[in-house]
Amino acid sequence: MNPVIFHNQKDITLELPESWELLGVLKPEEARGLENLREELFNAMKSPVGREPLTPEYLKNKKILIAVDDISRPTPVHLYFSEILSYLYRLGVKKSDISIIFALGIHREMRDDEIRNKLGIDNPAGIRILNHKAHIKDELVFLGKTSRGTEVALNRHIMESDLIICVGAIEPHLLLGFGGGLKMIIPGLAADFTIAQNHMQGVSAEKYNYIGEYESPMRLDLEEGAMMSKKDFFIINAIMNSKLEICRFMCGDPVKAHREGIKFAEKISCKQIREKADVIIVSSAPMNADLRQGMKCIGNCEQALKDNGLIIGFLECRNGIGDISVPKKSIPNYLLRKILRLIGSKRVMGFIDRVKKGAGIEERFLAHFSMQVVRKNQIFVYSENLPPDTGKRLGLFRQFNSVEDMIKAAGRYAPRNARVYIFPYGGATYPSFSFSGAS
C-alpha cells in the first residue's frame, strides 16, 4: 500500500506497513467551478433565498456596510468583489453610501497590500475601508445578552448602517458546524468579550466537535446576538470545491440562505463511513494558509478514529505558524497525554486555565479542542513550513523532520494490522456514519 499525499505543491508517496489495511480514500465530491462568476453572482443576488431582492427603491439613500472575511480565510473574494460593487452601482447606490469593513474578530489588522489582494481592487475613491477593532470600547455598541448569556457588543458601524452585506464562505467548521452566514457579525465584528463568550458555547467536556451540524449552540447564539442589532442583513456566501474554486453563490436571508447553502456544501464535503479506523492520514489541503487553518483537518477527520488511534497530519502552513501564540516551551507530548488521561475530559478546561494563564480567546478554545483530541489519540505532524520545534513548544503533537521517520514511528505506535482512512483534502472533508451502529 503506497498512497500519495499532495503536500507543499508536490506529491509524496507514502510507504506504509504492508500489514495495514486501507479502508478508503475519502475525497470531497467533484464539483465544477463556475465558468461565469459575474453571471452566477448576479443571478444569485437577483433571486435571493428567503427575502426580497435588493431594488433601487429599497436601496435609495441607504448606508451600506460590506463585511468581508480577512486574509486568513481562503475565500477568493478578489475574484468577484468588484462585481458586487458593480451590481450595487447598477441599482443606483452611491460610492459615498458604501463602507467596507474587514470582519477580523480578534485577528490583527489587515495591511494595505493585504486589503488590495483580498478585494482584488485598489481603494476605490469615495469608499471607506475599515478594520474591525474588537478591543476598543468606543468602536462598540452594547446591545444586551442572548438567551444563552452571551453579552453582545457589536462594531458601531453596524448600528450606523441600514444594510449589512456579509461576504464570506460556507465551509465545515469545528464549533459552528459550518462557517458563513452571520459568522461575519459574531465573531467577525463583535467585542472581544462577546467573541469569548460565544466561542465557549461550543466548549464542553461532553461535546467539543460540531463539524457538519446545521445548528450548533455557537451558531444559534451568534445568530440571536447579531439579530439583536435589528439591522437588515444580506449574505453573499461562496461555496468552494477542493481546489478553492467557487461552485455556487448563496445569497439572501442570513439564516434561510445559509441553511440552503449548507445542504450544497454538505454534499461536497461529507463522506459516509461504516466503521472507525486505527489510523487516519490527513492533508490540510485546501486550508493551507497557516497553523490555525492547517489544524482544521485534524478536527474535521478525528471523529472517524477509534480511541487511542493515530492521526498522521501533513500540514502545509504556507505562512508558518501565523498569529497563533506559541510558548517557548510546554509540557512534553507524552507527559501531557498522561496528564489529560488522568484528569479526564471534564477537567481539561480547568487544566488549561492553570497552565495557560492569560491565554487569549482563540488560544483557549483551540487548546481545549486540541487537548480533548490529544487525550484520546496520538497526533504526528509533518510540515515543511513550520519551525522544527513547533511540536515541542506546543506539546500537542509529535513533529517529524522527515516523512520516513514519521511513518516508521507510526508503524511502531499503531496496531500491526491497523485499518486506515486517508483524507487527501482534510481541510474540506469530514466523515459521517452511514448507520447508527457504528462503533
Domains of the chain: 4-27+274-433 (3.90.226.30), 37-267 (3.40.50.11440)
Please write down the HEC assignment for all residues of the chain. CCCEEEECCEEEECCCCCCCEEEEECCCCCCCCCCCHHHHHHHHHHCCECCCCCCHHHHCCCCEEEEECCCCCCCCHHHCHHHHHHHHHHCCCCHHHEEEEECCCCCCCCCHHHHHHHHCCCCCCCCEEEECCCCCHHHEEEEEECCCCCEEEEEHHHHCCCEEEEEEECCEECCCEECCHHHHCCCCCECHHHHHHHHHHHCCCCCCCCCCCCCCHHHHHHHHHHHCCCCEEEEEEEEECCCCCEEEEEEECCCHHHHHHHHHHHHHHEEEECCCEEEEEEECCCCCCCHHHHCHHHHHHHHHEEEEEEEEEECCCCCCCCCCCCCCCCCCHHHHHHHHHHHCHHHHHHHHHHHCCCCCHHHHHHHHHHHHHHHHCEEEEECCCCCCCHHHHHCCCEEECCHHHHHHHHHHHCCCCCEEEEECCHHHCEEEECCCCCC
Distance CA(310)–CA(359), nearest Å, equals 28
Task: Say what the pLDDT of residue 439 is.
Answer: 39
How far apart (Å, rounded) are the C-alpha atoms in residues 383 and 399?
Answer: 8
pLDDT of 84: 97
Position 310 scores a pLDDT of 97
Residue 308 burial (CB count, 10 A)? 13
Q: Which residue has the cell 462585481?
A: 83
pLDDT values of the chain reduced to their tens digit, one per residue, 439 residues: 688 888 888 888 999 999 999 999 999 998 999 999 999 999 999 999 999 999 999 999 999 999 999 987 889 999 999 999 999 999 999 999 999 999 999 888 999 899 999 999 876 667 999 999 999 999 999 999 999 999 999 999 999 999 999 999 999 998 899 999 999 999 999 999 999 999 888 777 778 889 999 999 999 999 999 999 999 999 999 999 988 999 999 999 999 999 999 999 999 999 999 999 999 999 999 988 899 889 999 999 999 999 999 999 999 999 898 877 777 878 888 899 999 999 988 888 888 888 877 766 667 777 888 888 889 999 999 999 999 999 998 889 999 999 999 999 999 999 999 999 999 999 999 999 864 444 3
Q: Which phi and psi angles does 296 have, rounded to 5°?
A: -60, -35
Q: What is the pLDDT of residue 78?
A: 95
- State if pTM tops 0.85: yes
